[in-house]
C-alpha cells in the first residue's frame, strides 16, 4: 500500500505508557511509515504504520512518567495533531485472580462495559465517608461503538475458531529475533508464575526467591501456554496497586479484573478500548521479568482486534467537537500568579472525573483574570470545551445559559428551568469540558444559606441544580470565602490576595507605559505599598497615570492629600477589554457592591464594618468589634458577623492567646472605601461618633497599638493591660520568639496572681501559657512541674470534663512524649481523645489535635503503619474543618511526610514536604521555626534519595537559621547539628562527623538528660562513626550503654532496641568475640 502522507489519513491512535509496550505494538505492524510533522505545540513523539487496512499513529508517555494526568496530556496532543476517531490503550497491567477469574501472567485483560461501569473506573477517585469506608465516585465513558462491535465479532470468532494469538507472537519473534533473545519477549514459564496469598506481603528483596513457599496459592496447571483473554472492568489510578487485600476488596466491590495507571485519563476525551497484558498480580510481589511478554500478548490482541474493525465504520465515526464560549480574548499581558495557577492544576488534574474548585478573595484581587488565564491554558492543553457563565445574578446566569443553548443547537422555545436543565445535560454529555462560574458573590442564588441573618429579599435559590456535575470541571470565583463548604468542599479553595512585589511592579509598568525594570524606583515602591499590591488598584493607578500623562510622584501626593482626593482617584473608571462592560472597573465601586451584600445579610456585620472604618486598621481586639456591633448581639453573633467580614476578605483574623477570641486587621483601602460610602449616604457622623465613644470607653484618649500603650493608658494591673500583655506573649510564642514570650508570661502570671488569686481560671491559663513557652524552649522538666499544677487546679476548679482541663492533660502528655516517656504519654492521650470526642465532638479542632498528638507518640514508638492511617484521617479532617492553609493542616502534612520518610517512601515524602515548605513560607514567614523544620525535613529526604549535593547546603542553611532564631541549645538546633553530622558520616567524612556528634551528645545530656531518646540516639550515632573509624573498643562501650538504655526505656521488642543489638553484634564480630556474638544473637 502507498505511504499515507496526510494527517487526515490517520484516524486510529494507539497510546502506550512504556517503551516496552510501544516496541511490542510497533513489532506487530504490517508496515512502518516515515514520521509526519505534528502540531507546533505537540510534544509527543509518534511512530506510524499499518495493520491490515488501518493506518495507525502510535505515541508513548515520556520516559519515567506514568499516571492518568500524563496520559491525558499525550491523548490531547494526539487529538490536536490528528483527527483521531477511535483509539487503543495497549500495555501491561496487574491481574486480579479470583474464584471466577483464573487469570495468569501473560493473559490479557480487555476493558468491556460491565455492571455500572463503562469498562474503566478510577479506583482512587472518591471520598472517605464516616466510618472510614472509601466510596468511589464518578463514571467514565464507554469505548466507541465501532470497537465494541469489533470486540463482539472477535468473541464470536473465538468461540468458533479461537483467537490466533500464538500466530501473531510467533510472527513477531521470527521477524524480530532480538526482542526474544535479548529483551525477553517470550513466555517465561509456569514455574515463574507464582500467586501468593492476598495477606502475605513481599519481604525485602527484588525477587521472590526469599518468599515463603507455603504462602503460594496452588492452582491447577494449564494444558498449554496460549494466553487467555478476560473481559471486564479495568481499575485505573494515579498510584501502583501493590496490596493484595486492598486489591481484592476493590475487585469484589467493583467487578475489576485488572489494575493499571493510565486509562482513566483517556476514556472521556480519547475514545478507546484498553488492552492489558498481565505482568503481575497487583500485589507487593512485583515481577518485571513478565513485562515484555505481557506487552507482546496485549499488542498481539490489538493486532487481531483491528482486523475485525470495519474501515467504513471508522470513517463514519464523527470527530469529537470542541466548543468555546468565552466573553474575553486571552490576556496576552497576563502577569504572574503562578502559585495560584499551580494550586488550581493540583486541585483540577487532567483526569476525566468530575472536579471542582473555587478561587476567592477581596474584590479587585484578580480572580476573574486568573480564571481566564487558567481557562485558556486548560483549553490549549486538553482541546476540551470551555464555557464562561456569569454567576452574579439569576438573570446573568440564565443569559449565559441561553448563549450556550444557541451554540449547542438547543431549542430556544424552551424557557426557564427547562432551558437550564437542557443546557446542563448537554454539557454533561460532552467528553471533556470546563465551566467557569464567575462572580458568584451572592451564594443564595445557588443554594439556600442557613445560619445567616438576611435583611433584604431572598432570591430564588438552588441554581446549583443546573450546574453540570459529570465528567468535567467547574471553577468558581467569588468574593465570599463561605463558598467553601457551601458550593465546593473546604479543601478545594484557593485564596487570592495581593500580587507579589515583582508582579505588581510589572503590572504597573506595563499598564502605565513606564520604562520596564526589575527593581522599582522609590516612588513606584511607595505607591505599590500604599495600594497593597491589589491588582485592580494597581491597574487603576496605572491607567490614571497613562491617561493624564501624570507622574507617579504626583499620584502619590494626591493619594496622600484629602480623603476626597483619595476616593476620586480610587473611583476612577478605565476601560479593559478583559472585564465585563457592565461591571465596575474602580476599586471603590467594586467594594461598595460587597458592602451592599453584607448589609443585606447581617445588620451586625454592617455596623462593625462601618464603625471600625474610623479606627486603626491593625490589631483590632474582639472587644472593639463587640462594642461596634452593639449591645443587642450575643458573643456568638458578633463572631459570626466578624466571620462574614473575614469571608469577604474585608478583615483578617489573627491568632491570639489560648481560648481567647481572635483579633483582627482591616485592609486600609477598604476603610477608605467604607468611609467614602458613609459620607455619600450622610452616615459618617453617626459611625465616627460610635468609634469615638467606643475608644473613650475601652481605651481612653488613644488608639489600640499593643501592650505598651495600653499599660501607659490604663495602668499595669488593669485587666485590659494584662490581657494585652498575654496576647502579645501569645503572638511572640506563635512566631517562635520564646525568650521574649517567657518574660511577658512571667509578668502576666505574677499580675494575675496578685489581682485575681491563684485559683482564678485566668491565672491558671497564665500558668499554662508559661508551661507551653518552657516546653517550646526544650525545658521539659520545668514545663512538666507547672503542667501538673495546672491539671490539678483545673480539675478542682473547672471539673474533669471541662475543655481547659482536657487541654491541660494533652499538654502534659506532649511533655511526657518529649521526655521519651511514650507509654505514659500514650495512655494519657487516649484519655484525652475519648474525652474530646465525648465533650466536643469528632470534628472539633481540639479532637483532631488529640488524634495528631497520638500519631506523634505512635511514631516515636516505631508504630509507623498505625501512625500513617491515623495521620491520613487527621489531614482529611483538618483540610475540611480548618482549610488547607491553616498551620495545623500544614503540620498534619508535615507529620505524614515524616512517616512516609521513615517508611522509606522518599519520593512521596518529598512532594509533600515541598508543599509544606511553600505553605509555611507564605503563611508563617521564612524564619519561623516551623518553616525551618520544613527545610530540615526536605534536606533529610534529599539526602535519603542520594542527592547530597542539594541536601548539605540546605542543611547548613537550616543550622544557621536555628542558631539565630531559637538559640544554640534549642532541641531543633541540636537536631540540625546531628543531621549534618549524619550526612558527613554517610559521605565517609567520619572524622568531621565525630566532632559534631561529640557536640550533640554533650548538648543533649545537658538539655534533655542522659536517658532521653535523643541523647541515646546521639550515643548510637557516635558509636557508628567510631565503628567506621575502626575504633571498635570505643564503639563497643557506647553500644552497650545504648542497648541497656533502650531495653529499659523502650523494651526488648522495639525496633530501636533490636537495631542497637545488631550494631553491638557487628562490633563484637570485628573484635573476634564469637561467644558474645552467639549469646547476643540468642537474646535478639
Give the whole-angstrom CA distance, residue 1032 versus residue 985: 16
CATH number at residue 129: 3.40.50.1580
Q: Which of 530, 554, 570 is the last residue of a domain?
A: 570
Q: Tell me, what's the pLDDT at 685?
A: 64
Q: Tell me, what's the pLDDT at 631?
A: 72
Contact in structure between 503 and 335 (CB atoms under 8 Å): yes
pLDDT, the chain, mean? 82
Domain count, the chain: 4
Beta strand 433-438 with 663-666 is unpaired
Q: Tell me, what's the pLDDT at 715?
A: 42
Question: Is 412 found in the same domain as 382?
Answer: yes
E strands in 656-715: 663-666
CATH number at residue 439: 3.40.50.300
Give the whole-angstrom CA distance, residue 900 versus residue 941: 10
Lowest mean pLDDT among 289-293, 573-577, 1075-1079: 573-577
What is the H or E stretch that residue 836 is in? helix 822-839
What are the CA-CA distances from residue 320 to residues 120, 323, 658, 792 (Å)? 20, 10, 59, 72
Q: Tell me, what's the pLDDT at 105?
A: 95
- On whether residue 559 sits in a domain, the answer given is yes
pLDDT at 290 over 50: yes
- On whether residue 772 sits in a domain, the answer given is no
Q: Determine the average pLDDT of the residues in 1017-1038.
A: 90
Burial call 712-723: b when 16+ CB within 10 Å, e when fewer: ebbeeeeebbbb
Q: Determine the average pLDDT of the residues in 701-716.
A: 38
Q: Determine the average pLDDT of the residues in 707-733.
A: 53
Q: Which residues contact 260 (CB under 8 A, 6 or more apart)?
A: 91, 92, 93, 94, 234, 235, 236, 274, 276
Q: Burial level of 505, CB count in 10 A (0-12/13-18/19+)?
A: buried
Q: Tell me, what's the pLDDT at 701?
A: 36
Give the whole-angstrom CA distance, residue 201 versus residue 215: 10
Number of H helices, E strands in the chain: 42, 20
Question: Is 157 found in the same domain as 270?
Answer: yes
Give the whole-angstrom CA distance, residue 292 versus residue 176: 13
- On whether residue 1027 sits in a domain, the answer given is no
The β-bridge partners of 283 are: none
Question: Between residues 8 and 307, which one has the greater pLDDT?
Answer: 307
Give the whole-angstrom CA distance, residue 857 versus residue 870: 12
Q: Which of 455, 473, 496 is the last residue of a domain?
A: 496
Give the whole-angstrom CA distance, residue 549 versus residue 545: 6
Question: Is 297 found in the same domain as 183?
Answer: yes
pLDDT at 928 over 90: no
Question: Is 738 found in the same domain as 624?
Answer: yes
Q: Tell me, what's the pLDDT at 351?
A: 64
pLDDT at 132 over 70: no
Question: Between residues 470 and 268, which one has the greater pLDDT?
Answer: 470
Query: What does the chain come to in residues?
Result: 1084
Q: In the numeric block, which cell numbers belong to residue 214? A: 507455603
Question: Is 36 found in the same domain as 117?
Answer: yes
Q: Tell me, what's the pLDDT at 750?
A: 87
Q: DSSP states of 756-823 as a string? A: H-TTSHHHHHHHHHHHHHHHHTT-HHHHHHHHHHHHHHHHHHT-TTSHHHHHHHHHHHHHHHHTT-HH
Give the whole-angstrom CA distance, residue 771 versus residue 756: 19
Quote the Cα angle for 739-740-746, to 5°: 90
Give the whole-angstrom CA distance, residue 648 versus residue 671: 14
Per-residue pLDDT tens over the stretch 401-412:
998 998 888 887
Beta strand 86-95 with 272-280 is parallel
pLDDT confidence band for 948 (50 / 70 / 90)? confident
Q: Tell me, what's the pLDDT at 451?
A: 46
Per-residue pLDDT tens over the stretch 527-549:
888 777 888 788 877 877 777 77
Q: DSSP assignment, residue 164?
A: -
SS3 content of the chain, % helix, strand, coil (to 5): 55, 10, 35
Question: Is 331 found in the same domain as 290?
Answer: no
Question: Is 539 found in the same domain as 449?
Answer: no
Per-residue pLDDT tens over the stretch 498-513:
888 888 888 888 877 7
Question: Is 455 found in the same domain as 406?
Answer: yes
Q: Which residues contact 666 (CB under 8 A, 6 or more apart)?
A: 612, 613, 617, 620, 650, 651, 652
E strands in 293-422: 324-325, 355-361, 385-390
pLDDT at 1013 over 90: no
Q: Tell me, what's the pLDDT at 474?
A: 94
Contact in structure between 1022 and 991 (CB atoms under 8 Å): no
Q: In the numeric block, which cell numbers belong to residue 394? A: 439569576
Q: DSSP assignment, residue 457?
A: P
Question: Is 651 found in the same domain as 520?
Answer: no
Q: DSSP assignment, residue 925?
A: -
Question: Is 210 found in the same domain as 359?
Answer: no
pLDDT at 700 over 80: no
Q: Which of 464, 496, 528 is the last residue of a domain?
A: 496
Contact in structure between 624 and 664 (CB atoms under 8 Å): no
Give the whole-angstrom CA distance, residue 559 versus residue 562: 8
What are the CA-CA distances from residue 602 to residues 462, 479, 482, 607, 629 (Å)? 21, 16, 14, 9, 10
pLDDT at 139 over 70: no
**Three-class HEC string of 847-876:** HHHHHHHHHHHHHHCCCHHHHHHHHHHHHH
Give the whole-angstrom CA distance, residue 523 versus residue 526: 5
pLDDT confidence band for 778 (50 / 70 / 90)? low
- On whether residue 556 sits in a domain, the answer given is yes
Q: Determine the average pLDDT of the residues in 63-70.
A: 82
Q: Determine the average pLDDT of the residues in 782-795.
A: 91
pLDDT at 414 over 70: yes
pLDDT at 456 over 50: no
Q: Determine the average pLDDT of the residues in 52-66.
A: 92
What is the H or E stretch that residue 159 is in? helix 145-161
pLDDT confidence band for 586 (50 / 70 / 90)? low
Q: For residue 128, which of 872, 949, 1028, 981 has the smallest C-alpha distance?
A: 872
Contact in structure between 933 and 924 (CB atoms under 8 Å): no
Question: Is 536 found in the same domain as 492?
Answer: no
Question: Is 291 found in the same domain as 174?
Answer: yes
Q: Tell me, what's the pLDDT at 575?
A: 53
Q: Determine the average pLDDT of the residues in 440-444.
A: 84
Q: For residue 1059, which of 1072, 1046, 1075, 1076 has the smallest C-alpha distance?
A: 1046
In the three-class reduction of DSSP (H, G, I as helix; E, B as strand; rest coil), residue 361 is classed as strand
The β-bridge partners of 488 are: 484
- On whether residue 43 sits in a domain, the answer given is yes
Give the whole-angstrom CA distance, residue 945 versus residue 955: 15
**What domain range includes position 652?**
620-756
Q: Tell me, what's the pLDDT at 274?
A: 94
Q: DSSP states of 73-93 as a string? A: HHHHHHHHHS---EEEEEEEE
Beta strand 651-654 with 108-111 is unpaired
pLDDT at 459 over 50: no
- On whether residue 1064 sits in a domain, the answer given is no
- On whether residue 1005 sits in a domain, the answer given is no
- On whether residue 534 sits in a domain, the answer given is yes
Q: What is the dihedral of CA 551, 554, 555, 560, to 10 degrees?
A: 160
Amino acid at each position: 500500500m502507498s505511504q499515507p502522507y496526510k494527517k487526515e489519513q490517520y484516524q486510529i491512535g494507539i497510546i502506550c505508557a512504556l517503551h516496552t509496550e510501544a516496541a511490542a505494538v510497533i513489532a506487530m505492524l504490517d508496515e512502518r511509515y516515515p514520521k509526519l510533522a505534528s502540531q507546533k505545540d505537540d510534544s509527543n513523539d509518534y511512530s506510524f504504520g499499518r495493520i491490515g487496512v488501518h493506518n495507525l499513529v502510535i505515541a508513548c508517555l515520556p520516559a519515567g512518567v506514568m499516571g492518568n494526568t500524563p496520559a491525558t496530556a499525550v491523548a490531547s496532543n494526539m487529538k490536536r495533531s490528528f483527527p483521531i476517531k477511535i483509539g487503543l490503550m495497549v500495555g501491561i497491567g496487574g491481574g486480579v485472580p479470583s474464584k471466577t477469574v483464573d487469570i495468569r501472567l501473560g493473559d490479557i485483560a480487555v476493558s468491556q462495559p460491565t455492571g455500572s461501569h463503562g469498562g474503566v473506573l478510577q479506583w482512587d477517585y472518591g471520598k472517605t465517608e464516616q466510618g472510614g469506608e472509601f466510596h468511589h465516585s464518578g463514571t467514565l465513558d464507554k469505548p466507541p461503538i465501532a470497537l465494541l462491535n469489533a470486540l463482539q465479532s472477535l468473541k464470536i470468532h473465538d468461540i468458533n475458531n479461537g483467537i490466533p494469538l500464538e500466530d501473531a507472537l510467533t510472527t513477531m519473534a521470527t521477524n524480530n529475533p532480538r526482542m526474544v533473545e535479548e529483551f525477553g519477549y517470550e513466555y517465561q514459564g509456569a514455574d515463574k508464575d507464582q500467586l501468593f496469598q492476598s495477606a502475605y506481603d513481599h519481604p525485602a528483596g527484588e525477587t521472590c526467591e526469599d518468599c515463603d513457599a507455603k504462602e503460594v496459592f496452588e492452582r491447577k496447571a494449564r494444558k498449554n501456554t496460549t494466553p487467555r483473554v478476560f473481559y471486564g472492568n479495568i481499575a485505573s489510578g494515579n498510584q501502583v496497586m501493590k496490596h493484595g487485600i486492598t486489591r481484592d476488596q476493590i475487585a469484589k466491590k467493583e467487578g475489576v479484573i485488572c489494575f493499571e495507571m493510565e486509562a482513566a485519563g483517556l476514556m472521556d476525551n480519547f475514545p478507546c478500548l484498553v488492552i492489558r497484558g498481565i505482568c503481575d498480580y497487583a500485589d507487593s510481589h512485583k515481577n518485571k521479568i513478565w513485562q515484555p511478554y505481557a506487552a507482546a500478548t496485549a499488542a498481539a490482541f490489538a493486532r487481531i482486534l483491528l482486523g475485525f474493525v470495519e474501515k467504513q465504520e471508522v470513517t463514519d465515526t464523527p470527530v469529537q467537537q470542541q466548543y468555546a464560549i468565552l466573553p474575553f480574548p486571552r490576556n496576552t499581558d497576563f502577569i504572574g500568579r503562578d502559585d495560584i495557577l499551580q494550586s488550581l492544576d493540583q486541585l483540577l488534574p487532567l483526569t476525566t472525573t468530575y472536579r471542582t474548585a473555587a478561587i476567592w478573595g477581596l474584590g479587585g484581587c484578580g480572580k476573574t483574570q486568573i480564571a481566564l488565564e487558567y481557562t485558556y491554558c486548560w483549553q490549549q492543553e486538553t482541546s476540551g470545551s470551555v464555557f464562561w457563565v456569569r454567576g452574579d445574578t439569576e438573570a446573568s446566569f440564565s443569559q449565559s445559559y441561553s448563549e450556550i443553548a444557541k451554540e449547542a443547537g438547543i431549542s430556544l422555545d424552551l424557557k426557564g428551568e427547562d432551558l437550564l436543565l437542557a443546557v446542563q445535560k448537554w454539557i454533561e454529555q460532552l467528553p471533556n469540558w470546563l465551566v467557569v462560574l464567575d462572580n458568584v458573590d451572592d451564594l443564595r442564588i445557588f443554594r439556600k444559606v442557613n445560619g445567616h441573618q438576611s435583611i433584604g429579599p431572598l432570591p430564588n435559590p438552588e441554581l446549583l441544580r443546573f450546574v453540570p456535575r459529570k465528567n468535567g470541571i467547574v471553577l468558581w470565583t467569588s468574593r465570599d470565602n463561605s463558598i467553601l463548604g457551601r458550593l465546593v468542599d473546604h479543601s478545594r479553595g484557593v485564596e487570592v490576595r495581593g500580587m507579589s512585589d515583582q508582579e505588581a511592579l510589572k503590572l504597573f509598568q506595563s499598564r502605565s507605559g513606564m520604562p520596564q525594570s526589575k527593581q522599582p524606583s522609590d516612588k513606584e515602591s511607595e505607591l505599590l505599598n500604599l495600594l497593597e499590591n491589589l491588582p485592580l488598584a494597581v491597574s487603576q493607578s496605572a491607567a490614571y497615570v497613562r491617561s493624564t500623562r501624570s507622574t507617579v510622584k504626583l499620584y502619590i501626593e494626591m493619594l496622600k492629600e484629602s480623603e476626597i482626593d483619595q476616593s476620586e482617584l480610587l473611583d476612577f473608571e478605565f476601560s479593559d477589554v478583559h472585564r465585563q462592560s457592565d461591571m465596575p472597573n474602580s476599586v471603590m465601586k467594586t467594594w461598595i457592591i460587597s458592602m451592599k451584600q453584607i448589609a443585606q445579610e447581617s445588620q451586625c456585620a454592617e455596623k462593625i464594618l462601618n464603625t471600625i472604618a474610623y479606627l486603626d486598621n491593625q490589631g483590632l481586639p474582639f472587644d472593639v468589634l463587640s462594642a461596634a456591633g452593639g449591645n443587642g448581639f450575643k458573643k456568638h453573633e458578633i463572631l459570626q458577623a466578624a466571620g462574614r467580614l473575614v469571608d469577604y476578605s474585608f478583615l483578617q483574623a489573627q491568632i491570639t492567646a489560648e481560648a481567647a477570641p481572635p483579633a483582627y486587621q482591616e485592609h486600609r483601602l477598604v476603610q477608605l472605601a467604607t468611609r467614602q460610602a458613609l459620607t455619600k449616604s450622610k452616615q459618617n457622623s453617626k459611625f465616627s461618633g460610635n468609634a469615638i465613644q467606643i475608644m473613650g470607653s475601652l481605651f481612653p484618649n488613644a488608639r489600640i497599638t499593643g501592650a505598651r500603650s495600653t499599660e501607659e493608658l490604663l495602668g499595669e494591673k488593669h485587666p485590659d493591660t494584662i490581657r494585652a500583655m498575654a496576647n502579645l506573649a501569645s503572638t511572640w510564642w506563635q512566631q517562635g520568639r520564646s525568650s521574649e514570650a517567657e518574660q511577658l508570661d512571667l509578668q502576666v502570671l505574677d499580675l494575675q496572681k496578685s489581682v485575681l488569686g491563684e485559683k482564678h481560671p485566668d491565672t491558671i491559663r497564665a500558668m499554662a501559657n508559661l508551661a507551653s513557652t518552657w516546653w517550646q524552649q526544650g525545658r521539659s522538666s520545668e514545663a512538666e512541674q507547672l503542667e501538673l499544677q495546672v491539671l490539678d487546679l483545673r480539675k478542682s476548679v473547672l471539673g474533669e470534663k471541662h475543655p481547659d482541663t482536657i487541654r491541660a492533660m494533652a499538654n502534659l502528655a506532649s511533655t511526657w512524649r518529649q521526655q521519651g516517656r511514650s507509654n505514659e504519654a500514650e495512655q494519657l492521650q487516649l484519655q484525652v481523645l475519648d474525652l474530646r470526642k465525648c465533650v466536643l465532638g469528632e470534628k472539633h479542632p481540639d479532637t483532631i489535635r488529640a488524634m495528631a498528638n497520638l500519631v506523634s507518640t505512635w511514631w516515636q514508638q516505631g508504630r509507623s503503619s498505625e501512625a500513617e492511617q491515623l495521620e491520613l484521617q487527621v489531614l482529611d479532617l483538618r483540610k475540611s474543618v480548618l482549610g488547607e492553609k491553616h498551620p495545623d493542616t500544614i503540620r498534619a502534612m508535615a507529620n505524614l511526610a515524616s512517616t512516609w520518610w521513615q517508611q522509606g517512601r522518599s519520593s512521596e515524602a518529598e512532594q509533600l514536604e515541598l508543599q509544606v515548605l511553600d505553605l509555611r513560607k507564605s503563611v508563617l514567614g521564612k524564619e519561623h521555626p516551623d518553616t525551618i523544620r520544613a527545610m530540615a525535613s526536605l534536606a533529610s529526604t534529599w539526602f535519603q534519595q542520594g542527592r547530597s549535593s542539594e541536601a548539605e547546603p540546605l542543611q547548613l542553611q537550616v543550622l544557621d537559621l536555628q542558631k539565630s532564631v531559637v538559640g544554640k541549645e534549642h532541641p531543633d538546633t541540636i537536631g540540625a547539628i546531628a543531621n549534618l553530622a549524619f550526612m558527613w558520616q554517610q559521605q565517609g567524612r567520619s572524622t568531621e562527623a565525630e566532632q559534631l556528634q561529640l557536640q550533640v551528645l554533650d548538648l543533649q545530656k545537658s538539655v534533655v538528660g542522659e536517658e532521653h531518646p535523643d541523647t541515646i540516639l546521639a550515643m548510637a550515632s557516635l558509636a557508628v562513626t567510631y565503628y567506621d573509624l575502626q575504633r571498635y573498643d570505643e564503639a563497643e562501650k557506647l553500644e552497650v550503654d545504648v542497648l541497656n538504655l533502650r531495653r529499659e526505656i523502650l523494651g526488648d521488642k522495639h525496633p530501636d532496641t533490636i537495631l542497637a543489638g545488631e550494631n553491638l553484634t557487628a562490633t563484637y564480630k570485628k573484635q573476634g568475640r564469637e561467644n558474645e556474638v552467639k549469646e547476643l544473637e540468642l537474646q535478639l
